[in-house]
Amino acid sequence: MIPHEKTMVEHLKDRPFALIGIDSDGGRSALVKIMKEQGIGWRQAVDAGTSGPLATRWHVRGWPTIYVLDQNGVIRYKELRGQALEDAVVTLLKEKS
């Protein structure tokens, strides 16, 4: 998914859009290494698996879990991948305009 996410972030860089990742694989130092190796430039947080505070609050049962939120923080789409994910984001950005 990372290659498409990179492309999507680049396509939407001048729009009111943010991609936020949550990593649960090994702590901050492991995440920093992965971000550097993969060229990930968007915000990331570290959580402790599906029992961590972020996963618990957002009802994450497995990774990856994808939520697309609108400008009011309402989950509008779930579990989209690839072009469908980007299309959903663009649809929400048009609503804001």
**pLDDT band (50, 70, 90) for residue 88:** very high
pLDDT tens track for 3-52: 999 999 999 999 999 999 999 888 899 999 999 999 999 999 999 888 99
Domains and their CATH numbers in the chain = 2-12+19-89 (3.40.30.10)
Quote the pTM value.
0.85
**pLDDT band (50, 70, 90) for residue 91:** very high
Those residues with Cβ within 8 angstroms of residue 46's Cβ, 6 or more apart along the chain or in another chain:
22, 23, 24, 27, 28, 31
